[in-house]
């Protein structure tokens, strides 16, 4: 995960902003990709890895806020930092409510920009990690056999082996065997871990 | 005494001869008058003769006057002395023409044996027919008989005073008086049925004046000759007339023009002036063509309409219809105003017209001054409004322009910070320095451009018109408005031709017009819910005209609003003063163009501005 590229996407209709911003970020060791409009960026999707978006508010065609809305429908959403020369309160509120990291006014200070980018990348990283964990949990849970899944559903409710055997009309010994297979397949040691993984995957509802 | 005078006269007439005899064009006319110089008719005749030889005519005449005074010196001694004097002392060659003037001059001289009568051409003036036998065959004589018809004068006098039914004839007592009296009396017969005549002849002057002073109102007095009265007091007719007319409450008429000077009314009377002129003409003809030969008899009328203007005024008959238009009026010149009435009126009218003209010129000048002041005032106001409008536009755009300026500032900052970062990490290479610095330069220029275009728009002073590229102006306008349009999610689409299109005008004012129209379209689009919000700018140009269209896909213009759209203070916007479109119209008109607002068939408004294309010739 650490090895995959960290990219800052710059979307601004002003070429000199794109150029200078990209230069500044590269001086800090970031990879950048520049887009002159929202449409161009959308055609580039999907994007793997960690990164963030520096987004201009006002652009011809799809503007910054509209792009933010469109991106929120994608699962691998990158954090967005708005960068505008003409921020007003209503658009700032709208952007932040829709999940933007922050709203910077041009010309902005280098520190503020880096702070925002760092925050965004942290979030991006966290999201990527979570997504990875979820993905893993799902894969593992999907590898269970139907009978094992049935056992798991009862185990996470806190039932003892005997109770599970009674519920499923199978021998307690058989339940024990299934539980062993489950912990092996999911790579966990305790029931608590099984519960967390199940929750993470969102596949099985816990009543 | 009379003799002495005659000799003196002779001497005086001899003097010019000595030096001037040789000149053929110099003629001596010797005039013999039957009576003495107190007869006014004589003066008129002499005046008439002289007038026939005006200064500069080929013949110069010297007129010698000899008065025989036959009535006073009835013993003929004076006559004979005169004749003897001429017979002895005056050679025929010294005299070129003899004129004898009635009454009785020719006969008297002939009887007294004046030799000159046979040697020199003679013009005999008579007032009654004469016996042709009195002339000898060798004589060169022109006999001019002057018509003497008192009835003509009386007739005219009565027609001048139609209500007057009485007439009084006044005359003297001498032989010639009696002769003239008789002639008048004879002619009264023409009026015996219409008028009543009273004869007052051969009476003492006192009695005459007494009667005249009490004469009835509707009486006319006819004056005959008056040399002596019944008491043998000698008068001249002129003196008698003067006395009588000053006493008379009624008009006094005479038979000839010679009395006009002394109080006669005038009328249809004999003009002795004309007689004199005739004599002069005959004389000149004789001198110049040498036509005198034998006897020539001429009988002629010299009746003319002549009036004493003062008398006409006195008797209030100036406007009488019986006075012919071509009559002669004497003494009229005393009344300057009347004499030169038309000239005076003309001069007055001229002065008046001049005055009126001057008045109007002054007024015109004043009004022009006022108008030009007003114009200057309007111009000032107009300029202020135009400027005001620009300030309003700029105020609307402040936020966008600040942002517009923020872009290059941000870019500069990013570049500079990148430079510092690379420097700190020791990774700065030439390529990066070049990229950073050229970026900074470019953005700095851009910021400068924005500031200068804003400053141009804010400037108040007027600029000279110049060749302006409309494409460049439109592009700059779009650039200034760019962010504002972006903020409102409006697309401004300009089908930009890279070819410049020139007009002759004020770049800033044209930009102001375009700005107004774009912002106006943007305002119209603000009420539009759906996308896209678009403004199209299109240029079309022929050889002479350029049309710029500003179209939008907004709701269009309300038809009621459309007609007064370009009036000042008409607005639907709350921000504006409502002078924007009015200013646009003024500016466009000031550029010799026109601006029209219409609705597009597919919806939305279109404003079109037509301007004249700039060609090198203009």
The structural domain count of chain A equals 2
Q: Say if residues B512 and B555 touch (Cβ distance below 8 Å).
A: no
Is the per-residue pLDDT at B437 higher than 60? yes
Measured between CB atoms, does B119 come within 8 Å of chain A? no
Question: What's B463-618's CATH class?
Answer: alpha beta
Measured between CB atoms, does A23 come within 8 Å of chain B? yes
**What is the nearest CA distance from B488 to chain A, expressed in angstroms?**
9
Q: Which of B399, B439, B443 sits opposite A86 (nearest CB)?
A: B399
- For residues B245-266, average pLDDT: 85
Question: Which residue matches tokens 């902005």?
Answer: A108
pLDDT value at position A118? 92
Domain span holding position A193: 143-201
Is the per-residue pLDDT at B347 higher than 50? yes
ipTM, 2 dp:
0.76
B143-147, B220-224, B388-392, B495-499: range with lowest mean pLDDT:
B495-499
Q: Which residues of chain A have pLDDT under 70?
A: 1-4, 75-76, 86-87, 204-207
pLDDT value at position B19? 42
B577 pLDDT tier (thresholds 50, 70, 90): very low
pLDDT value at position B23? 47
Ranges of CATH 3.40.50.2300 domains, chain B:
150-268+304-336
Let me know whether A71 and A100 are in one domain.
yes
Taking each helix axis as running N to C, give the angle between helix A191-201 and helix A110-142, from 0 to 180 degrees, rounded to the nearest 10: 110
CA-nearest residue to A12 within chain B is B407
Measured between CB atoms, does A17 come within 8 Å of chain B? yes
- For residues B138-147, average pLDDT: 88
Q: How many residues does chain A have?
A: 207
pLDDT value at position B358? 93
Question: What's B2-146's CATH class?
Answer: alpha beta
B139 pLDDT tier (thresholds 50, 70, 90): confident
Residue A107 to residue B443, Cβ atoms within 8 A: no
Q: Which of A28, A60, A107 sits opposite B409 (nearest CB)?
A: A107
Interface test with B, best of A56, A86, A90 (most B CBs within 10 A): A86
Let me know whether A63 and A43 are in one domain.
yes
- For residues B458-477, average pLDDT: 82
Q: Which CATH number fits domain B150-268+304-336: 3.30.870.10, 1.20.120.530, 3.40.50.620, 3.40.50.2300?
A: 3.40.50.2300
Q: Which of A17, A28, A59 sits opposite B410 (nearest CB)?
A: A17
Residue A27 to residue B425, Cβ atoms within 8 A: yes
B245 pLDDT tier (thresholds 50, 70, 90): confident
B17 pLDDT tier (thresholds 50, 70, 90): very low
* A169 domain residue, yes or no: yes
* A108 domain residue, yes or no: yes
pLDDT value at position A2? 39
Residue B163's SS3 state is: coil
Cβ neighbours of B400 in A, within 8 Å? 86
Express each pLDDT in B33-61 by its tens digit: 988 877 878 888 998 998 888 887 788 88
Question: Which residue matches tokens 């007055």?
Answer: B348
Is the per-residue pLDDT at B274 higher than 50? yes
Q: Which of A74, A97, A131 is the last residue of a domain?
A: A131
Give the integer Cα–Cα distance in Å for B293 and B219.
50
Residue B411 to residue A14, Cβ atoms within 8 A: yes
Q: Say if residues B135 and B293 touch (Cβ distance below 8 Å).
A: no
Across the A:B interface, residue pairs with CB atoms under 8 Å apart total 87
What is the CATH number for A159?
1.10.10.10
Q: Which of A16, A85, A108 sits opposite B403 (nearest CB)?
A: A85
Residue A20 to residue B418, Cβ atoms within 8 A: yes
The closest of B291, B321, B462 to B383, measured between CA atoms, is: B462
Let me know whether A41 and A122 are in one domain.
yes
Q: Give the percent of chain B with pLDDT over 70.
A: 91
Which H, E and C letters describe A68-107, residue by residue?
A: HHHHCCCCCCCCEEEEECCCCHHHHHHHHHCCCCEEEECC
Is the per-residue pLDDT at B2 higher than 70? no
Give the integer Cα–Cα distance in Å for B204 and B230.
5
Express each pLDDT in B53-107 by its tens digit: 888 778 888 888 888 888 877 778 888 888 888 888 888 888 889 999 978 888 8
Q: Say if residues A52 and A102 touch (Cβ distance below 8 Å).
A: no
Q: Does domain B372-462 have CATH number 1.10.3470?
A: no
What spatial distance separates the first Cα and last Cα of chain B, rounded to whole Å? 104
Is the per-residue pLDDT at B569 higher than 60? no
Residue B399 to residue A26, Cβ atoms within 8 A: no
Give the integer Cα–Cα distance in Å for B277 and B304.
14
Cβ neighbours of B418 in A, within 8 Å? 20, 23-24, 26-27
Let me know whether A59 and A108 are in one domain.
yes
A68 to each of A11, A109, B129, how far by Cα in Å? Answer: 12, 23, 147
Measured between CB atoms, does A66 come within 8 Å of chain B? no
* A121 domain residue, yes or no: yes
Ranges of CATH 3.30.565.10 domains, chain B:
463-618
**What is the nearest CA distance from B521 to chain A, expressed in angstroms?**
18
CA-nearest residue to A85 within chain B is B403
Let me know whether A24 and A63 are in one domain.
yes
**What is the nearest CA distance from B568 to chain A, expressed in angstroms?**
33
* A137 domain residue, yes or no: no
Cβ neighbours of B413 in A, within 8 Å? 20, 107-108
Measured between CB atoms, does A173 come within 8 Å of chain B? no
Ranges of CATH 1.10.287 domains, chain B:
372-462
Which H, E and C letters describe B376-402, residue by residue?
A: HHHHHHHHHHHHHHHHHHHHHHHHHHH
In a 13 Å sphere around the CA of B470, the CA atoms on its Cβ side amount to 27
Over chain B, what is the mean pLDDT? 83
Residue B402 to residue A60, Cβ atoms within 8 A: no
pLDDT value at position B540? 86
Let me know whether A122 and A147 are in one domain.
no
Residue A86 to residue B402, Cβ atoms within 8 A: yes
């Amino acid at each position: 995960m650490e090895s995959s590229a960290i990219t800052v996407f710059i979307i601004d209709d002003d070429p000199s902003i794109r150029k200078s911003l990209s230069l500044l970020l590269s001086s800090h060791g970031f990879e950048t990709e520049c887009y002159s409009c929202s449409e161009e960026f959308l055609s580039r999707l999907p994007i793997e890895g960690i990164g963030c978006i520096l987004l201009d508010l006002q652009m011809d065609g799809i503007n910054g806020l509209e792009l933010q809305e469109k991106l929120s429908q994608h699962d691998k959403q990158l954090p967005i930092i708005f960068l505008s020369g003409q921020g007003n309160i209503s658009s700032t509120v709208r952007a932040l409510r829709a999940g933007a990291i922050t709203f910077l006014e041009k010309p902005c200070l280098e520190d503020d920009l880096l702070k925002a980018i760092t925050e965004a990348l942290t979030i991006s990283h966290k999201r990527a990690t979570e997504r990875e964990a979820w993905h893993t949990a799902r894969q593992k849970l999907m590898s269970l056999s139907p009978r094992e899944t049935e056992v798991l559903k009862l185990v996470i409710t806190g039932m003892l082996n005997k109770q599970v055997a009674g519920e499923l009309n199978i021998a307690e010994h058989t339940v024990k065997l299934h539980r062993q297979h489950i912990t092996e397949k999911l790579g966990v040691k305790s029931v608590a871990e099984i519960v967390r993984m199940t929750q993470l995957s969102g596949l099985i509802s816990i009543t | 005494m009379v003799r002495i005078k005659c000799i003196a006269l002779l001497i005086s007439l001899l003097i010019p001869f000595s030096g001037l005899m040789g000149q053929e064009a110099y003629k001596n006319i010797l005039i013999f008058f039957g009576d003495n110089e107190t007869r006014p008719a004589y003066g008129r005749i002499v005046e008439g003769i002289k007038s026939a030889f005006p200064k500069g005519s080929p013949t110069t005449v010297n007129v010698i006057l000899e008065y025989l005074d036959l009535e006073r010196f009835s013993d003929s001694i004076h006559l004979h002395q005169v004749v003897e004097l001429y017979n002895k002392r005056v050679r025929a060659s010294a005299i070129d023409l003899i004129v004898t003037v009635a009454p009785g001059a020719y006969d008297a001289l002939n009887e007294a044996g004046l030799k000159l009568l046979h040697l020199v051409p003679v013009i005999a003036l008579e007032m009654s027919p004469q016996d042709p036998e009195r002339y000898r065959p060798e004589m060169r004589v022109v006999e001019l008989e002057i018509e003497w018809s008192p009835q003509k004068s009386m007739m005219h006098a009565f027609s001048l005073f139609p209500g007057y039914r009485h007439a009084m004839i006044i005359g003297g007592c001498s032989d010639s008086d009696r002769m003239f009296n008789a002639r008048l009396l004879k002619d009264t017969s023409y009026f015996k049925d219409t008028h009543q005549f009273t004869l007052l002849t051969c009476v003492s002057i006192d009695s005459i004046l007494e009667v005249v002073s009490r004469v009835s109102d509707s009486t006319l007095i006819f004056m005959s000759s008056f040399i002596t009265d019944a008491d043998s007091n000698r008068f001249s007719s002129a003196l008698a007339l003067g006395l009588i007319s000053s006493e008379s409450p009624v008009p006094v008429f005479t038979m000839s023009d010679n009395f006009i000077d002394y109080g006669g009314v005038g009328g249809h009377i004999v003009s002795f002036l004309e007689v004199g002129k005739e004599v002069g003409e005959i004389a000149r003809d004789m001198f110049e063509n040498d036509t005198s030969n034998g006897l020539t008899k001429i009988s002629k009328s010299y009746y003319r309409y002549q009036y004493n203007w003062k008398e006409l005024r006195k008797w209030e008959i100036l406007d009488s219809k019986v006075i012919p238009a071509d009559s002669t009026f004497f003494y009229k010149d005393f009344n300057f105003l009347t004499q030169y009435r038309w000239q005076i009126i003309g001069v007055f009218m001229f002065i008046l017209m001049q005055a009126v003209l001057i008045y109007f010129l002054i007024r015109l000048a004043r009004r022009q001054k006022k108008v030009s002041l007003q114009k200057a005032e309007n111009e000032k106001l107009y300029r202020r409004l135009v400027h005001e409008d620009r300030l309003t536009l700029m105020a609307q755009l402040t936020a966008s322009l600040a942002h517009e300026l923020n872009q290059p500032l941000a870019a500069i900052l990013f570049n500079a910070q990148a430079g510092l970062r690379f420097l700190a990490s020791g990774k700065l290479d030439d390529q990066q320095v070049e990229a950073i610095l050229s970026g900074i330069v470019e953005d700095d220029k851009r910021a400068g451009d924005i500031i200068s275009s804003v400053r141009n728009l804010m400037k108040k002073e007027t600029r000279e018109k110049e060749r302006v590229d409309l494409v460049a102006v439109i592009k700059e306008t779009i650039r200034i408005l760019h962010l504002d349009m972006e903020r409102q999610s409006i697309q401004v689409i300009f089908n930009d031709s890279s070819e410049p299109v020139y007009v002759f005008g004020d770049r800033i004012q044209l930009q102001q017009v375009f700005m107004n129209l774009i912002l106006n379209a943007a305002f119209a689009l603000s009420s539009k819910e759906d996308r896209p919000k678009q403004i199209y700018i299109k240029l079309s140009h022929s050889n002479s005209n350029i049309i710029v269209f500003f179209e939008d896909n907004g709701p269009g213009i309300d038809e009621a609003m459309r007609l007064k759209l370009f009036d000042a203070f008409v607005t639907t916007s709350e921000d504006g003063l409502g002078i924007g479109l009015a200013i646009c119209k003024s500016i466009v008109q000031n550029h010799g163009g026109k601006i029209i607002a219409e609705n597009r068939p597919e919806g939305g408004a279109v404003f079109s501005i037509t301007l004249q294309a700039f060609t090198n010739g203009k």
